Amino acid sequence: MIFILASCASFEPNDAFESESRYLRSDAMYAQYFGASTLYFNDGLTSFFIDGFITRPSIKTNLLGGIESDYTLIEQVLKETKIEKLNAVIVAHGHYDHALDSANVAKAKESRLIASLEVKELYPAFDQHRFEELTPFNSIGIDDFQIIPIPTPHIKKSLPLSYLEKLYMSLSRGPQYLTNEQGYSFLIKHPQANILVVPSANFPKNFTVKIDADIVFLSVGLLSNRMNESVIVNGDEGNYIEEYWRWAVLNTGAKKVYLIHWDNLQGISAKELSPPPAILDNIQKAIGKLKTLAEKGDEDGRPISISLPPLKDPFSIEF
């Protein structure tokens, strides 16, 4: 098991895309990406995290010492990435790769922690005066940002992968992160742009609410295991990945897509992220399919940009 989890992958997702020029406009909203679905947004006045998984401990560390958030390392990472202000940390759901560090990130910057009551139970020592409950479609107002939580199921895992995860979490003394509570995607509304963040590669199947987004941060993890599956959406049968793309990208009118949550969840000091072993999740296959869908363009044939966000470096939110 340990060999499979820790083995190196030969595919480098960064090689699948042409490099983009990275620059920051002084008057533009920007984001920073920390791997998995951890994203930091800042418009110059207000800032917040979606998830707070930034220490990214190795499998060896977790097995030997148990799964535990490292507060000192969190402070170091926030300092190195020049995150000085923080108004809130919003947690998508209670799994390890979303929730591990979220409370300590909020603690380090004395910010609000916004999460479900199930996630709250993971942090009994957190200052309850700075906790706010996350509920479906209840808009979170942070100055010019309006963040709307959209109930979204977690992507289904195969039985072998579920067993492997349970064994790993048990050996790492982290079974509290094997939660089944409601997960969320987030529609972020701002005068400069509307952004949809999808932390898990799934979507609500009977969703009839019209949402508009200029940019989508789209989860890739475990998509390769469901690419050939059929799914019923609003009474009609379709291909899982094509319907996922339709819900998040085509139906929202998005012009730009950033792929997230495709990495192996390890290593905070790396300059580039690495994918998991293909035997567990064939990221190359999933990204190839998503690129093909992007090349087809939107409903009117207009091109849709697709790329990977840079790791930890700020980039302007533009489309």
| Predicted local distance difference test score (pLDDT) of residue 146 | 99
The H-assigned helical ranges of 193-274 are 240-245
| Predicted local distance difference test score (pLDDT) of residue 28 | 85
CATH number 3.60.15.10 is the correct assignment for the domain at 2-316: yes
Reference 291, options 299, 283, 300; nearest CA is 283
Q: How far apart are CA 91 and CA 171, in angstroms?
A: 25
Q: How far apart are CA 220 and CA 287, in angstroms?
A: 7
Structure tokens at 78: 């926030």
Residues recorded for the chain:
319
Total-model pTM: 0.94
Residues 54-96 pLDDT 10s: 999 999 999 999 999 999 999 999 999 999 999 999 999 999 9
Under-70 pLDDT residues of the chain: 1-11, 18-23, 270
Measured N-to-C along each axis, helices 102-109 and 71-80 cross at an angle, to the nearest 10 degrees, of: 60
Domain ranges for the chain, please list them. 2-316
Could you tell me if 256 and 305 are in contact, meaning their C-beta atoms sit under 8 angstroms apart? Answer: yes
| Predicted local distance difference test score (pLDDT) of residue 1 | 42
Torsion of CA 39, 165, 115, 34, to 10 degrees: -10
The single-letter code of the amino acid at 304 is I
| Predicted local distance difference test score (pLDDT) of residue 152 | 97
Which element (helix H / strand E) includes 50? strand 47-50
* 145 three-class SS: strand
